[in-house]
Chain A
Amino acid sequence: MEIRREKVGAPTDVRARQHRASEMLRGIDMSGADLDKYVEERVLTTTLEKALNWARSNALFPATFGLACCAIEMMSIVTARYDSARFGAEVFRASPRQADLLILSGRVSIKMAPVVRRIYDQMLEPKWVIAMGACSSSAGVFNNYALVQGADKFMPVDIHVPGCPPRPEALLHGIIKLQAKIKGDPTLGWRERYGAHGTEELGDGPESNGS
């Protein structure tokens, strides 16, 4: 059997139709009230802060940092089955300087706490923290000498995800809640909750004097 491909048209026809389509999209052949209605339907106005928060919340870069068994569940949120790329949180950065989100995936021992705190301090603001699982929220079953009893003793935590370990869906739910928080109420940030205004670390650049 012979396979024949129908030609769509000559290259010039294609170009002409593309031009016509783009003109329609831009509303060039409209005028007066029609054009006003067209613009109203297609243009969205918002505040800069809302647009900024929308952009931030949909580009959360978590730090590549696993502490214990919860890290296995944290790794699986980027796999094809759970796919945190759907929510814009798939780029695990290998450096805290490039990350916005620290997922505390597991128990924090007393010896590990200064290291975690250092990684958190190295992240650039704005930054957020998810305490994943029972151990990093409250030490879970390990009420003993070796562990810090809850990671919010030494660093601010935005979202606590319960579970031992939480399923990847639960962690994704926590990420979505964090996105809603970033998008929604900026006064829910940790600086407000901990009264930490004025502790921002800024460089010596022109923007550092606050004016």
Chain B
Amino acid sequence: MPDATGLELIAHDLREQVPGSVTGTQHHRGTATLVIDPEAVMQVLTWLRRTPNQDYHFLASVHGCDYLPHAPRFGVHYELLNMERVERLHVKALLEDPGEPELPEMDSVAALFPTANFQEREIYDMFGVVFRGHPDLRRILMPDEYEGFPQRRDFPMGGEPVLFTHNEHQTPRWYE
């Protein structure tokens, strides 16, 4: 992990190279997080991968997140790893919810890290984040004709109500 000072240095260099890209840093319990503007994600990850002395060559994970009561609703997290120094860097892009039926959009990084291909498909499947420039953006886990994005926090829980003795009489034809 870059320590708090190292994280600030990375953020400083990035702000110089890509103005307006880094909107904040967090260093919490040993995890260094760069909060970035989603429009600059490709430039930021390219810089982190290609710049000497950064060399974050390995994208360990991409995951989505829904922070529903909070204002930038969706988060897309990139977990970068430098295997020589065994340093992990967390890059977090926050996306506003454009409201139904629009879907939040950001750039795909599948051209830079091929592993992001399937993981971005999963984020699209579960959270409905559209990745521009993705080679094959379609559902990966749920059926193709599925409606809705099941990991969103406003998606209804549960497949059907569980039948207990106290509510079985409310269910029509429960006894058959």
Contact = CB atoms under 8 A, between A and B. Distances in A.
Contact of A143 (B141, B142, B158): B158
Say whether chain A's binding surface is mostly helix, strand, loop, or mixed.
Answer: loop
A42 B157 CA distance: 65
**Range of interface residues on chain A?**
10 to 19
A144 B142 CA distance: 12
B160 A143 contact: yes
A139 interface: yes
B71 interface: no
B143 A145 contact: no
Contacts of B160: 143, 149
A139 B159 contact: yes
A111 interface: yes
B142 A147 contact: no
A146 interface: yes
Contacts of A139: 159
Interface string B142-154: 1100100010000
B162 interface: yes
**Range of interface residues on chain B?**
10 to 19
Contacts of B174: none
Interface in B114-166: 141-143, 146, 150, 155, 157-160, 162
Nearest to A147: B159
Nearest to B159: A149
A110 B158 contact: no
B162 A146 contact: no
B146 A144 contact: no
B145 to A, nearest CB: 10
A144 B158 contact: yes
Contacts of B162: 143
A149 B162 CA distance: 10
A144 B143 contact: no
A145 B149 CA distance: 10
Interface string B33-74: 000000000000000000000000000000000000000000
Contact of B155 (A110, A143, A145, A149): A145
Nearest to B126: A145
A110 B143 contact: yes
Contacts of A143: 157-160, 162
A146 B158 contact: no
Nearest to B162: A143
A139 B163 CA distance: 12
- The 7 A-B pairs with the shortest beta carbon distances in the complex, nearest first, are A145-B150, A149-B159, A143-B158, A149-B160, A111-B143, A143-B159, A110-B143
Interface of A: 110-111, 139, 143-149
Interface of B: 141-143, 146, 150, 155, 157-160, 162
14 contacts: A110-B142, A111-B142, A111-B143, A143-B157, A143-B162, A144-B150, A144-B158, A144-B159, A145-B155, A145-B159, A146-B141, A146-B142, A146-B150, A147-B159
Given A145-B155, A145-B159, 20 more contacts: A110-B142, A110-B143, A110-B146, A111-B141, A111-B142, A111-B143, A143-B157, A143-B158, A143-B159, A143-B160, A144-B150, A144-B157, A144-B158, A144-B159, A145-B142, A146-B150, A147-B159, A148-B159, A149-B159, A149-B160
